[in-house]
Amino acid sequence: MRTLTELIITDDPGWTVVKDWIGKANNQVEILPCERHDANKALLQLQVTTRSLMGAVIYETGGLLIDGGWIRILGSGSKRLKRSLPAWNKGKTFQEYGEQPPYLLVADDVIGGFYAINGGYFGDDFGNIYYFSPDLLEWLPMKISYPNFLLFCFETNMDEFYEGLRWKGWLNDITALSGDYAYRFDPFLWSEEGKEINNLNRQAIPVEQIYDFNMDMVSTSKE
């Protein structure tokens, strides 16, 4: 396990790049504040340096909210997004800090979609991002790395990417939504009856419950 001194790189830090990209972003990006103690703790737990863009996001932010909070990129935790990246993964993708996970959850969205870095679970494209699509109950390859995932969040037309999955008035609804909650839909998005988003009932519940339920559904579908 590397020490905090070894992980905090003052020469050529990744945050310089991330902050520059945010300044040029097409989408709204909100930088959530973090407490230095929490940032230090998260950096030590994940063992990434601040030269990496992931380490920079963890060390410099409590997380990033994209497009009004539709996507939540995990950092070291904040009042509006209490989950740190390492703490959120513990018990899901690894059991103890320092273990190499089969995949690493790095972001999620308000409809129960999850973004993860492949650690070998999805195939040989190590380091690439996969998206768990809640309307398909499948992990889909995005064929991009974490830095390009940040650019995807900053630059992509999200209305197009989430076509058919944004309801009328969605922005007003998610404004007050905690970053630790997401929507459960009735009927389910992946059901035949769940294809018209505006006709579905929505309930905000802890995102952990949605993750556990979706992963159980994936496991059941493979049996």
Angle at CA of residue 142, ends 139 and 146, nearest 5°: 110
Q: What is the dihedral of CA 183, 186, 191, 194, to 10 degrees?
A: -80
List the one residue out of 81, 67, 32, 77 whose CA is nearest residue 153: 67
Percent of the chain with pLDDT over 70: 99
- Tell me, what's the pLDDT at 133? 98
Cis peptide before 187 (omega within 30 of 0): yes
Confidence band of 223 (pLDDT split at 50, 70, 90): low
Task: Strands of 26-155 (E only): list them.
Answer: 29-32, 63-66, 71-74, 103-109, 114-118, 129-133, 138-141
Does the domain spanning 4-222 belong to CATH 3.40.1580.10?
Answer: yes
Mean pLDDT of the chain: 97
The pair of three-digit structure tokens given for residue 136, joined into one six-digit string? 């398909």
pLDDT, mean of residues 87-91: 98
pLDDT, mean of residues 102-113: 98
Which neighbouring-strand residues pair with 141? 130
Residue 220 reports pLDDT greater than 90: no
The domains of the chain are located at 4-222
Confidence band of 160 (pLDDT split at 50, 70, 90): very high
pLDDT, mean of residues 19-26: 98
